[in-house]
Amino acid sequence: MAPVTWVGNHMHALVERLYPLCRSITGDGVRATLDIVGEYIPLRTHEVPTGTRVLDWTVPQEWNIRDAYIADSAGNRVVDFAASSLHVLGYSLPVSATMPLAELRGHLHTLPDHPSWVPYRTSYYQPDWGFCLAQEVLDALPDGDYEVRIDSTLADGHLTYAEHVVPGQVPDEVIVSCHVCHPSLANDNLAGIAVAVFLARALAERTPYYTYRFLFAPGTIGAITWLARNAERVEQVKHGLVLACAGDRGSLTYKQSRRGDAEIDRVMRHVLQASDRPHRVNEFTPYGYDERQFCSPGFDLGVGSLSRTPYAGYPEYHTSADNPDFVVPGKMVDTLAVCREAFAVLDRNRRYLNLSPYGEPQLGRRGLYDALGGRSDTKEAQLAMLWVLSLSDGEHDLLDVAERSGLPFDTVAVAADALGAAGLIKE
């Protein structure tokens, strides 16, 4: 992997590049986003037609927008989509009209508590139109007539999502998911996309044990569509992680799967605690990002969610203040590092059987003690071997050994490798 500063700067550059694009749950903004991601990692893109039944949902019409503005009587654009994709209510119907400010106000969205910020609002499944603007801009508008123009289309088309697969030693899969449906919001969702891209590149530098499937899809409807189209092979998904809000200054937060004791939950808790990073571990709730789709009772996959400050947990959430300056390269690097550490543990975590379970086997005769000679952690390594032998009963995995012994997972895994090579344990 490249130096930390290089990685952080390049992740941030990707965030900046994606930021101006107008994304939604469908449309050309999603395709443009995936085209850029495809320059970093190869993608397989899927187009699912409008009207396709996906579980209890139906793929909606495709929305695209070319221009939108509110202009005063002199023709000055007082609100301009060209300045920010947040200025238009997502999925707005086309409009071309002139109306007084009193009538227009019913279609305007602001944040009175943060008068200089523009909110992010949508109307995906209820036909409507509107604009989002700063409260201070609205306050400065004089009464009078305004030209209102939204050059958009809502028509039959497709929902677009993409996958990237890092082949592993086994076909069992780990899903890494991030949403690609939000417009100019840097932490939510672009930082998660950037971390996912560079995580995929890091995993490709080695041959991981599991196959890692990266999913870039619109929130909610995208994950539901993927699950509907992959229901017959969903049993291959053994673990999963949803990435979002991955670059703000907050400490790391892991939201557990619905199960609460899935292996990914245990791994994330262990890695965060062992790293001494400030962090929080939250219980599952059926509200949030796409972990709630993967964890729905019919699928009940072991999928958790990693973020820094969780959704709606910071004032800038879903506002124009969530811009590239709000995202910190070093924090994205930290999020990426935790993912790599967690997946390294996940890839090496196994259950073993002690092949010499009656009494302690003679390690010295097998050269196992000699192999440790001169190491600064010789006693710790010897203790790890004894713990692995003690708990290799087919019921405990190496993570159990690490947690019960208080030893580093890597030390335990190395001990298991040595005992396996000596013929004392087997998977």
For the segment 156-163, the average pLDDT, to the nearest whole number, is: 98
Q: How many CB atoms lie within 10 A of CB 169?
A: 11
pLDDT score at 237: 98
Q: How many CB atoms lie within 10 A of CB 286?
A: 11
Q: What domain range is 378 assigned to?
A: 351-426
Share the mean pLDDT of the chain.
95
Q: Grade residue 396 by pLDDT with cuts at 50, 70 and 90.
A: very high
pLDDT score at 402: 97
Both 89 and 231 in a single domain? no
Question: Quick one: 130 exposed, middle or buried, by C-beta within 10 A (0-12, 13-18, 19+)?
Answer: buried
Q: Grade residue 363 by pLDDT with cuts at 50, 70 and 90.
A: confident
Q: What is the CATH number of the domain that holds 390?
A: 1.10.10.10
Q: Is the pLDDT of residue 423 over 70?
A: yes
pLDDT in tens, 137-151: 999 999 999 999 999
For the segment 47-62, the average pLDDT, to the nearest whole number, is: 98
CB 188 within 8 A of CB 182: yes
DSSP 52: -
Nearest to residue 41, comparing CAs of 161, 165, 160? 165
Strand partners, 63: 154
**Residue 252: CB partners within 8 Å, gap ≥ 6?**
272, 277, 278, 279, 280, 306, 307, 308, 334, 335, 338
Both 38 and 67 in a single domain? no
Question: Quick one: 297 exposed, middle or buried, by C-beta within 10 A (0-12, 13-18, 19+)?
Answer: exposed
Strands (E), 39-90: 44-49, 53-54, 57-58, 62-71, 77-80
Q: What is the CATH number of the domain that holds 130?
A: 3.50.30.90
Q: Is the pLDDT of residue 208 over 80?
A: yes
Q: Grade residue 368 by pLDDT with cuts at 50, 70 and 90.
A: confident
For the segment 119-133, the average pLDDT, to the nearest whole number, is: 97
Both 357 and 282 in a single domain? no
Q: Is the pLDDT of residue 375 over 60?
A: no
Tally of structural domains, the chain: 3
Q: Buried (b) or exposed (e) across 244-254, using 16+ Cβ within 10 A?
A: bbbbbebebbb
Both 277 and 203 in a single domain? yes
- Strand, helix or coil at 363? coil
Both 107 and 164 in a single domain? no
Both 310 and 204 in a single domain? yes
Q: Is the pLDDT of residue 372 over 60?
A: no
pLDDT score at 220: 97
Both 69 and 131 in a single domain? yes
Start-to-end CA distance of the chain, whole Å, equals 30
pLDDT in tens, 309-328: 998 999 999 999 999 999 99
Question: Quick one: 374 exposed, middle or buried, by C-beta within 10 A (0-12, 13-18, 19+)?
Answer: exposed
Both 104 and 249 in a single domain? no
pLDDT in tens, 20-45: 999 999 999 999 999 999 999 999 99
Question: Is 239 annotated as contributing to ligand binding?
Answer: no
Question: Is 188 annotated as contributing to ligand binding?
Answer: yes
Both 29 and 177 in a single domain? yes
DSSP 319: B
Both 38 and 94 in a single domain? no
Q: Is the pLDDT of residue 370 over 90?
A: no
- List, edge to edge, every strand of the sheet that includes 237-243: 44-49, 158-166, 211-217, 173-179, 237-243, 303-307, 252-255, 279-282
CB 411 within 8 A of CB 384: yes
What token pair was written down for 209?
Answer: 């044990």
Q: What CA–CA distance (Å, rounded) separates 25 from 101?
A: 30
- Strand, helix or coil at 153? strand
Q: What CA–CA distance (Å, rounded) separates 337 from 11?
A: 13
Q: What CA–CA distance (Å, rounded) separates 124 from 60?
A: 9
DSSP string computed for 77-122? EEEETTT-GGGB-BTPPPEEEEEEHHHHGGGEE--TTSTTPPB--B
What token pair was written down for 289?
Answer: 């990002």
**Residue 175: CB partners within 8 Å, gap ≥ 6?**
213, 215, 237, 239, 240, 241, 294, 301, 303
Strands (E), 113-230: 131-132, 145-155, 158-166, 173-179, 211-217
pLDDT score at 27: 98
Domain end residue (candidates: 325, 348, 371): 348
Q: Is the pLDDT of residue 369 over 80?
A: no
Domain end residue (candidates: 289, 320, 348): 348
Both 177 and 285 in a single domain? yes
Q: What is the CATH number of the domain that holds 187?
A: 3.40.630.10
222 alpha-carbon distance from chain centroid:
13
Both 11 and 76 in a single domain? no
Domain end residue (candidates: 154, 173, 199): 154
pLDDT in tens, 281-312: 999 999 999 999 999 999 999 999 999 999 89
Nearest to residue 397, comparing CAs of 356, 343, 350, 358? 350
